[in-house]
Amino acid sequence: MELMKVRNYGELSERVGEMVIEKVNALEKPVLGLATGSTPEGLYEYLINQYKAEKVSFEHVVTFNLDEYVGLEKEDINSYNYYMNEKLFKHIGIPAHQTYLPNGNALDLNEEAINYEKRIKQAGNIDLQILGLGLNGHIGFNEPGTPFTSRTHIVQLDESTRQANARFFISLDEVPTQAITMGIETIMESEQIVLLVSGEGKAGALKRVVNGEVSEEFPASILQKHNNVIIIADEAACKLL
């Protein structure tokens, strides 16, 4: 694992933005794995600005998001589908049929999980996967205890995760209890992974990613076993390293 320390969130967003653009410009049919949450918002703003400045085109890019809540309509302002459209897709000229998120409203969620895996395979696997870090070490929505061999599946969200995400909802009661997420093995098959970590609140979690024991009790620790991982973390997040 390579740890890239940056001064602040702005620098973090710019660094990862440049990595994404480099990949998009280098490959004929780049496949990006994308994340939601607060951490990648600066990255998406950066990409929109670079697109407007004609530094990059997304016409030939395919994207797969990590996860989606179960039971929210696509148009729900808290769905990850809505988040991705508002914060990135509708601003960068990417064809809608090239952007994939798991459908958390599918009638048969297990079938949806299998189909999502197939779509990733058909696209030729993920070239660059962006990850955020949950306070409890979750990646995507793979909560502590998820087998490292998991593929895309339905999860029961931890109470701590629901509380952490409640800030986006009117009340905690509105936060879904389930989600559909790429599995840990699915994520680990990505050619390259960039983990973004910002802020003092994540310092303890980052310390466990870098120095902790590799254990299913702390899902992000598996990244120690991937041969092409870059962690971009700001000074506040590196406080305990």
Token pair of 174 as six digits: 């509105």
CA distance 22 to 190: 17
Shortest spacing between CB 167 and ligand GLP, in angstroms = 9
Known active-site residue 117: no
Which residues is 34 bridged to in the sheet?
65
Exactly one of 7, 8, 25, 38 binds ligand GLP (CB under 6 A); that residue is 38
| Residue number of the CB atom closest to ligand GLP | 132
Which listed residue (65, 127, 138, 153) is catalytic? 138
- Whose Cβ is closer to ligand GLP: residue 92's or residue 206's? 206
Residue with tokens 């905690």: 172
By CB under 6 A, residue 134 contacts ligand GLP: yes
Token pair of 152 as six digits: 């895309």
CA distance 107 to 151: 19
By CB under 6 A, residue 42 contacts ligand GLP: no
> Taking the CB of residue 7, how many other CB atoms lie within 10 A of it?
10
Contact present, 188 and 221 (Cβ < 8 Å): no
Interface with ligand GLP: number of residues (CB under 6 A): 13
Q: Which residues form the interface with ligand GLP (CB under 6 A)?
A: 35-39, 66-67, 132, 134, 140-141, 161, 165
The residues annotated as belonging to the active site are 67, 136, 138, 143
